[in-house]
């Protein structure tokens, strides 16, 4: 009798365990999947001041780029080459770029520093570049009323000077700025060591390696790079950005080679956006394999990213001057 009761108790316990396991399996089956990233928009300001127009054009471009409530805005360049390289102007432009509600990330242009001269008529480029770093990149956040956390290359001790190179994430896409000035990457053909160019080349090489490694590890849908100069990554093999044979070196050659090599191994898309004028009319992304290139000849653009869509990126551009 006692044995029968024991067997009945064991049978009941086994049935209870079976029911519990079944209910657990059912719960696991109905656990909601991680939602797919939603489409979002970001703004880009394509250095309208480089065309010799005044600050009102930049203000209007900021207003237009802010209309669609973008996740963030990237502004390439803070001044025209013809404007003074003064602390006063730098501070004035920083205050202007800090006004929008959206996070504002500033990507330097060559016109901001590379052609600056001191009172003796000598190049003051390195000193002015360092001053811009002090004014615009004092912490690990963007400008704008709604701050966006950024990771800067300067967080690495070896490259603590290169605060202008920053990256951030949004919607499973990795975004980054990289200091590539349009004037042949500030390569100087004069005799002697190109100290600024060569040191920045080393820093940018490490930066690109870090970005591609991070994008691959985090399984990002895409890597988007913002710069002033066009490195010619999607151009035909053998292409050179040199205007003539008088220049000794294509300052973008190494960057172009590195991006191409790393993009071949990357499973996502790579989009390079620069502030140079496009050859055609409306700005459009030109693709070579998984690498896209956008010359932002317009004053501003709205770029939408739609994860899972056949076309991950779509571009809507505008001219601040024409819309005033």
Query: 182 and 50 in contact (C-beta within 8 Å)?
Result: no
Q: What is the predicted pLDDT for the residue at 239? A: 53
Q: Using one digit for the tens of pLDDT, what is the confidence trace for 277-324?
A: 766 567 789 999 999 999 987 789 999 999 988 899 999 887 643 332
% of the chain surpassing 70 pLDDT: 80
How far apart CA 295 and CA 48 sit, in angstroms, is 13
Distances 45 to 15, 140, 222 between C-alpha atoms, Å? 67, 21, 20
Q: What is the predicted pLDDT for the residue at 48? A: 77
Can you give the pTM of this predicted structure? 0.85
CA distance between the termini of the chain: 97
117 has which bridge partners? 123
The structure tokens listed for 272 are: 């390079």
Q: Using one digit for the tens of pLDDT, what is the confidence trace for 89-108?
A: 999 999 999 999 999 999 99
123 has which bridge partners? 117
CB atoms within 10 A of CB 297: 21
Q: What is the predicted pLDDT for the residue at 299? A: 86
Q: Exposure pattern of 245-272 as b/e (b: 16+ CB <10 Å)?
A: eeeebbbbbbbbebbbebbeebebbbbb
Q: Using one digit for the tens of pLDDT, what is the confidence trace for 35-74?
A: 667 899 999 998 877 666 678 889 999 999 999 899 999 9
Distances 168 to 178, 215, 265, 293, 295 between C-alpha atoms, Å? 13, 11, 21, 20, 22
- Pairing type for strands 291-295 and 286-288 reads antiparallel
Q: What is the predicted pLDDT for the residue at 2? A: 46
78: closest CA among 52, 43, 48? 48
Q: What is the predicted pLDDT for the residue at 189? A: 78
Q: Using one digit for the tens of pLDDT, what is the confidence trace for 137-148?
A: 999 999 999 999
pLDDT at residue 5 greater than cutoff 70:
no
How far apart CA 57 and CA 128 sit, in angstroms, is 24
Report, at the CATH architecture level, how domain 39-318 is classified. 4-Layer Sandwich (3.60)
Q: What is the predicted pLDDT for the residue at 319? A: 66
Domain spans of the chain, in order of start: 1-31, 39-318
Q: Is 227 helix (H, G, I), strand (E, B) or coil?
A: strand
pLDDT at residue 218 greater than cutoff 60:
yes
The structure tokens listed for 308 are: 């899972």
- Average pLDDT, integer, range 146-157: 97
Q: What is the mean pLDDT of the chain?
A: 85
């Amino acid at each position: 009798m006692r044995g029968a009761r024991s067997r009945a108790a064991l049978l009941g316990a086994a049935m209870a365990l079976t029911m519990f396991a079944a209910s657990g399996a059912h719960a696991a089956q109905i656990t909601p999947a991680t939602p797919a990233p939603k489409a979002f928009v970001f703004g880009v300001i394509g250095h309208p001041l480089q065309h010799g127009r005044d600050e009102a054009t930049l203000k209007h471009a900021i207003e237009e780029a802010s209309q669609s409530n973008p996740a963030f805005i990237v502004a390439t360049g803070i001044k025209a080459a013809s404007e003074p390289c003064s602390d006063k102007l730098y501070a004035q432009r920083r205050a202007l770029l800090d006004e929008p509600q959206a996070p504002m990330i500033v990507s330097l242009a060559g016109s901001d520093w590379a052609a600056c001269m001191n009172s003796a008529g000598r190049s003051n480029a390195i000193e002015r570049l360092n001053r811009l770093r002090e004014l615009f990149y004092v912490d690990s956040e963007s400008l704008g009323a709604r701050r966006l956390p950024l990771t800067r290359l300067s967080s690495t001790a070896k490259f603590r000077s290169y605060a202008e190179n920053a990256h951030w994430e949004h919607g499973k896409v990795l975004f980054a700025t990289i200091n590539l000035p349009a004037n042949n990457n500030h390569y100087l053909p004069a005799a002697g060591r190109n100290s600024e160019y060569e040191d920045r080349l080393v820093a940018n090489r490490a930066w690109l390696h870090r970005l591609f490694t991070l994008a691959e590890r985090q399984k990002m849908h895409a890597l988007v790079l913002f710069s002033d100069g066009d490195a010619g990554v999607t151009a035909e093999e053998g292409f050179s950005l040199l205007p003539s044979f008088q220049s000794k070196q294509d300052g973008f050659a190494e960057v172009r080679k590195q991006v191409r090599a790393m993009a071949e191994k990357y499973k996502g898309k790579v989009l390079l956006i620069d502030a140079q004028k496009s050859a055609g009319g409306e700005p459009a992304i030109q693709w070579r394999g998984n690498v896209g290139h956008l010359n932002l000849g317009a004053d501003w653009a709205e770029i939408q990213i739609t994860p899972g869509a056949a076309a991950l990126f779509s571009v809507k551009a505008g001219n601040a001057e024409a819309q005033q």
